[in-house]
Amino acid sequence: MPIPRILVFAGSIRTGSMNAQLAALAAKEFALAGADTTRISLLDYPMPLYDGDLESRSGPPEAAVMLKRMMQQHHGIFIASPEYNASVTPLLKNTLDWVSRVREGKEAPLAVYKDRAFALGGASNGGYGAMRSLMALRQILELGCGALVIPDQIAVARAGEAFDETDHFKDEANGKRLKAVVQSLIAFARYYA
């Protein structure tokens, strides 16, 4: 059975980000489940605000090209998405937009979002656990980019109190939900491996 490669990142680069914490825990769970796992930070892929005129003049930024290539090396991608104003972070939306503009050779538009599976998670201090962000991100990826986003997801409510001192979930239910997402993404990613 092929070993799927899973890429994990958070849609936040803020110090102490709960979603970076969720991404780190997810990466551990993917590795424990036998996936070849890579965790990155969007801090390492800085991009200007998307601007069509800038793209016309100089093409996508090198960071967008690098991230697109990184994504293409993986069969599954887990994104931990914070919620900003009932949607995704500006950082995450800008990143996804720039990556969607990268075309190399005779690639079809949005090729990077196809032939791999996506899973979503989110954490917030509110009672919804970034659920509105996950709905918006699902719409961007599925409808906007044509990606396969698996049905399983995790929304961690009251995230400031959800992790223990070892960065694991205090609540067994959150742990079970994350494991279910991990297993599901691995199963879908194997199809592309």
Q: Amino acid letter at 105? A: G
How many domains are contained in the chain?
A: 1
24 is in which domain, residue-wise? 5-192
> Other C-beta atoms within 10 Å of 108: how many?
9
Please list the residues that pair with 39 across neighbouring strands: 8
- The mean of the pLDDT values for the chain is 96
Query: Is the CA virtual torsion 125, 130, 133, 137 positive or negative?
Result: positive
Paired tokens of 55: 């793209």
pLDDT band of residue 193 (cuts 50, 70, 90) is: confident
84 in the Ramachandran plot: left (φ > 0), alpha (ψ -120 to 50) or beta?
beta
Average pLDDT over residues 84-94: 97
CATH number where 166 lies: 3.40.50.360
The average pLDDT across 30-55 equals: 97
Model confidence pLDDT, tens digit, residues 95-154 = 999 999 999 989 988 999 999 999 999 999 999 999 999 999 999 999 999 999 999 999
CA distances from 80 to 10, 133, 152 (A): 4, 10, 13
pTM: 0.97
Q: What is the pLDDT of residue 181?
A: 98
**What confidence score (pLDDT) does residue 1 get?**
77
Q: Quick one: pLDDT at residue 109?
A: 84
With tokens 């109190």, the residue in question is 161
